């Protein structure tokens, strides 16, 4: 069964075709980063307009690269939320138009659940039972994954999402947008032990996160040391490395603690921040020494894409969870 999926929840216009929830035939992503860069973040109105300009050719390209024509597509899946409402509406309207015109089943996908299926888009079956860390620009969630569609939320951020913290710190350091990859690159030249930023673990046993403290600590460090990011560039790699190390320590420790609490052997890490090189490395090392099997999709499937949505859509379809043409988008 071939599913065409569409994802437009933020600033990537994406379409993909996946066979049987496991074999990615095409995965097209039109990034809008260059249009948002000068504003230092995603501008919702620009995102909607760019999705409108790009969605038709992105969908066409997904079919061409999959070497399939419309007759070989069996269902259409689309992200309905959470995300930017105007952006989501472009994807949802397109998917509805396709479903109506081609008389295809329509499947509504939650963006966060989609991230959990990124591993499948890489041709690997999701391991159950497992613990999953979903670290993105909008969420920092830990789940106990019991089976398809059966996830229990174990913990989440009480303030900023981890990707949001990376983006805000990058802005303080004038590293531009998107901030996560910029900090990742800069940190590679810094000493992670040079500045000791706080690690917030909250109450004993808690699997929740709090990222606002470390973000403020970086701000105070910059202010108290009168650092001008434009002229004092020698200290920036150490700040980036110290911040990244503190965040990754907490993410790794809590994920492993969750796996111990749930008594599972498999750990899944996904979401945009799962492309962070230190998180990947430290998670791999700690999982290996603690006897857990780690599953992380390649970076291109960790950030927003439609292949993961097609994989989720496949299981929703198999469970008979279909949408109709009254389908709408929701922001949160």
Eight-class DSSP state of 122: T
Residues 6+ apart with CB under 8 A from 269: 132, 133, 135, 255, 279, 280, 283, 294, 295, 296
Token pair recorded at residue 93: 């309207």
Write out the binding residues for ligand KG4, residues 99-128 only, by CB under 6 A: none
Distance CA 292, CA 283 (A): 10
Q: List the one residue from 86, 114, 179, 297 that touches ligand KG4 (CB under 6 A).
A: 179
Q: How far is the CB of 81 from Zn ion (least distance, A)?
A: 11
Distance CA 2, CA 84 (A): 27
Q: How far is the CB of 89 from ligand KG4 (least distance, A)?
A: 17
Eight-class DSSP state of 127: P
Q: List the one residue from 2, 13, 122, 136 that touches ligand KG4 (CB under 6 A).
A: 136
Q: Does 242 bind ligand KG4 (CB under 6 A)?
A: no
Residue whose C-alpha is closest to residue 119's, from 294, 245, 316, 280? 294
Eight-class DSSP state of 64: H
**CA dist 105 → 14, 125, 323 (Å):** 19, 24, 8
Contacting range for ligand KG4; rule: CB under 6 A; set: 52-60, 121-129, 131-139, 259-267: 131-139
Residue 86 contact partner, candidates ligand KG4, Zn ion, none, CB within 5 to 8 A by sort of partner = none
Q: Does 136 bind Zn ion (CB under 5 A)?
A: yes
Write out the binding residues for ligand KG4, residues 3-22 only, by CB under 6 A: 10
Q: Does 82 bind ligand KG4 (CB under 6 A)?
A: no
Angle between the N-to-C axes of helices 236-262 and 162-172, in degrees from 0 to 180, rounded to the nearest 10: 170
Q: Does 167 bind ligand KG4 (CB under 6 A)?
A: yes
Q: How far is the CB of 292 from ligand KG4 (least distance, A)?
A: 22
Residue 179 contact partner, candidates Zn ion, ligand KG4, none, CB within 5 to 8 A by sort of partner = ligand KG4
Q: List the one residue from 113, 160, 238, 304 that touches ligand KG4 (CB under 6 A).
A: 304
Q: List the one residue from 42, 304, 309, 312 that touches Zn ion (CB under 5 A).
A: 304
293 membership: H or E segment, kind and range: strand 293-295
Binding site for ligand KG4 (CB under 6 A): 10, 136-138, 163, 166-167, 178-181, 184, 271-273, 275-276, 303-304
């Amino acid at each position: 069964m071939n599913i065409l999926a569409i994802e437009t929840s933020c600033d990537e216009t994406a379409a993909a075709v996946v066979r049987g929830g496991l074999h990615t035939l095409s995965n097209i992503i039109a990034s809008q980063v260059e249009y948002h860069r000068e504003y230092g973040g995603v501008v919702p109105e620009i995102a909607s307009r760019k999705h409108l300009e790009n969605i038709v050719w992105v969908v066409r390209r997904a079919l061409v690269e999959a070497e399939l024509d419309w007759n070989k597509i069996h269902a259409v899946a689309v992200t309905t939320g959470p995300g930017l409402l105007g952006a989501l509406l472009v994807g949802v309207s397109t998917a509805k138009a396709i479903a109506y015109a081609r008389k295809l089943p329509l499947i509504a996908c939650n963006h966060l659940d989609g991230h959990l299926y990124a591993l499948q888009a890489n041709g690997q079956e999701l391991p159950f039972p497992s613990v999953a860390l979903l670290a993105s620009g909008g969420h920092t969630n830990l789940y106990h994954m019991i089976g398809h569609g059966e996830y229990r939320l174990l913990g989440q951020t009480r303030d900023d999402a981890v990707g949001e913290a990376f983006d805000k710190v990058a802005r303080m350091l004038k590293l531009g947008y998107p901030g996560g990859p910029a900090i990742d690159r800069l940190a590679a030249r810094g000493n992670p032990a040079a500045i000791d930023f706080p690690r917030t673990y909250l109450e004993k046993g808690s699997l929740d996160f709090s990222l606002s403290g470390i973000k403020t600590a970086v701000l105070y460090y910059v202010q108290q040391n009168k650092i001008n990011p434009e002229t004092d560039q020698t200290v920036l790699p150490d700040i980036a490395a110290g911040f990244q190390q503190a965040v990754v320590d907490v993410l790794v420790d809590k994920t492993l603690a969750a796996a111990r609490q749930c008594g599972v052997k498999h750990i899944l890490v996904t979401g945009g921040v799962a492309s962070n090189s230190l998180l990947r490395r430290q998670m791999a090392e700690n999982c290996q020494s603690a006897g857990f099997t780690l599953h992380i999709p390649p970076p291109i499937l960790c950030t927003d894409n439609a292949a993961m949505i097609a994989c989720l859509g496949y299981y929703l379809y198999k469970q008979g969870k279909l949408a109709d043409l009254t389908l709408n988008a929701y922001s949160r």
